[in-house]
């Protein structure tokens, strides 16, 4: 079963303007399948095969000379030296759309691409499916937010309806640890790294404390920082920075951390069904992670860097998401409830009071309501369902 991706048009529109397009994103987000679908006439190679990667790394000029047609090259991080020589080929004969590269280990690639292909390469992020993206497909128009949260957005889970979510994520973690992490960390630390991932799942949608995280997992703070960098660069987590203006307020300035797929979060937390989710003390954090996932995917569909922050003062005033869009500041709280009350919007009102000079757009609570409507006329605050993030 093929599920259309919202990024398809962006990729097709962009590839004609650059000699190289680099599609980056987490493993199994659907990068290879999408590119093969969009560009069936391109040759295809993968550096996931050690023999191919070795040839490209050891004899890059000779390898490039064999590429006579437009070519998709998968997992280029396994032959990063190849990129420096690709620049020579492009400068010799600049043809837009000539190469499409993919990579799931951004931490090894971005410096090479920045150094070697500046001005010659467009970079597009592809994440796992968004809820709004999946709902556009006729087979899934009736799925609920909770259905999606429990499974997550990896395309294979939805394309193969008989696939066990537990089996998929167990295999996913094994592949990620063996293929991506083993090359960067000591083999003996892999078990610690998996525990580190589970500790992060518990902390998703919370302010990141390296010292608390390191203490709970039993590792050094420096190791925790290194591992966070690896997870962030491989698109497994996202660090959300705080929003602040110089207003004399004492603000929290540490980032919040979010897992980049809510289904993986549920797997790591052991949440398998609706009843467990509703009863979980982390239900609110799971919902907030889901909302954030939808937000960053919206920006990726546009080819834009996410302009999202959170706001929190040391006095406990907090708004989950401050989103800049169309030159307006949109203010969102996230609540797992179907019917939030007006008390849930108190911090939105405080933000509006503190930032009166900002050009405020939408202000509201993202929840499980079945319709979008104004529930506080005095302050023009709405209840929104997740569909608002597709607009």
The fold of 8-125 is Rossmann fold (3.40.50)
How far is the C-alpha of 223 from the C-alpha of 287, rounded, in Å?
29
How far is the C-alpha of 136 from the C-alpha of 152, rounded, in Å?
16
Per the rule left: phi > 0, alpha: psi between -120 and 50, beta: everything else, 119 is left
Pairing of strands 20-24, 99-103: parallel
pTM above 0.85, yes or no: yes
Confidence of residue 114 (pLDDT cuts 50, 70, 90): low
* pLDDT value of residue 40: 97
Confidence of residue 197 (pLDDT cuts 50, 70, 90): very high
Q: Which of 105-119, 247-261, 283-297 has the lowest mean pLDDT?
A: 105-119
How far is the C-alpha of 105 from the C-alpha of 88, rounded, in Å?
24
Confidence of residue 247 (pLDDT cuts 50, 70, 90): low
Can you tell me the mean pLDDT for 234-255?
Answer: 81
Confidence of residue 155 (pLDDT cuts 50, 70, 90): very high
Confidence of residue 93 (pLDDT cuts 50, 70, 90): confident
Of residues 184 and 72, more confidence is placed in 72
Question: In this predicted model, what pLDDT tens digit does every residue of 347-380 receive, in sequence order?
Answer: 999 999 888 878 899 999 999 999 999 988 888 8
* pLDDT value of residue 116: 67
Can you tell me the mean pLDDT for 26-49?
Answer: 96
CA triple 262-264-269, angle to 5 deg: 95
* pLDDT value of residue 106: 63
Kindly tell me if the per-residue pLDDT of 251 is higher than 80.
no
Kindly tell me if the per-residue pLDDT of 299 is higher than 90.
yes
Question: In this predicted model, what pLDDT tens digit does every residue of 16-35 receive, in sequence order?
Answer: 999 999 999 999 999 999 99
How far is the C-alpha of 9 from the C-alpha of 65, rounded, in Å?
30
Kindly tell me if the per-residue pLDDT of 107 is higher than 60.
no
Of residues 111 and 47, more confidence is placed in 47
CA triple 140-144-147, angle to 5 deg: 85
Residues of CATH 3.40.50.300 domain(s) within the chain?
A: 8-125
């Amino acid at each position: 079963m093929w599920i259309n991706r919202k990024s398809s048009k962006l990729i097709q529109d962009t590839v004609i303007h650059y000699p190289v397009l680099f599609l980056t994103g987490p493993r199994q987000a659907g990068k290879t399948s999408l590119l093969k679908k969009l560009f069936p006439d391109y040759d295809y190679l993968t550096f996931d095969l050690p023999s191919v990667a070795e040839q490209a790394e050891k004899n890059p000029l000779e390898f490039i000379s064999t590429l006579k047609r437009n070519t998709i090259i998968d997992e280029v991080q396994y032959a990063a030296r190849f990129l420096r020589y690709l620049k020579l080929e492009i400068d010799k004969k600049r043809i837009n759309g000539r190469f499409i590269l993919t990579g799931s280990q951004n931490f090894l690639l971005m410096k090479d691409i920045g150094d070697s292909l500046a001005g010659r390469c467009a970079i597009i992020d592809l994440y796992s499916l968004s809820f709004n993206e999946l709902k556009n497909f006729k087979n899934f128009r009736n799925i609920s937010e909770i259905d999606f949260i429990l499974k997550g957005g990896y395309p294979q889970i939805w394309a193969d309806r008989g696939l066990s979510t537990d089996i998929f994520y167990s295999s996913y973690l094994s592949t990620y640890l063996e293929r991506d992490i083993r090359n960067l960390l000591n083999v003996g630390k892999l078990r610690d790294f998996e525990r580190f991932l589970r500790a992060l799942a518990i902390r998703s949608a919370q302010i990141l404390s390296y010292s608390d995280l390191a203490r709970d997992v039993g590792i050094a703070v420096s190791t925790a920082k290194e591992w966070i960098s690896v997870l962030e660069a491989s698109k497994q987590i996202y660090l959300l920075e705080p929003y602040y203006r110089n207003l004399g307020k004492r603000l929290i300035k540490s980032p919040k951390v979010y897992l980049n797929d809510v289904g993986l979060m549920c797997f790591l937390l052991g949440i398998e069904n609706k009843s467990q989710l509703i009863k979980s003390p982390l239900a609110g954090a799971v919902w907030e992670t889901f909302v954030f996932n939808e937000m960053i995917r919206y920006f990726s569909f546009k080819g834009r860097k996410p302009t999202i922050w959170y706001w929190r003062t040391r006095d406990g005033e907090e708004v989950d998401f401050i989103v800049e869009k169309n030159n307006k500041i949109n203010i969102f709280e996230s609540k797992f409830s179907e019917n939030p009350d007006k008390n849930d919007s108190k911090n939105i009102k405080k933000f509006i009071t503190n930032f009166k000079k900002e050009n405020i757009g939408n202000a509201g609570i993202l929840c499980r309501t079945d319709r979008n409507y104004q529930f506080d006329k005095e302050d023009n605050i709405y209840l929104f369902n997740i569909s608002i993030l597709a607009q």
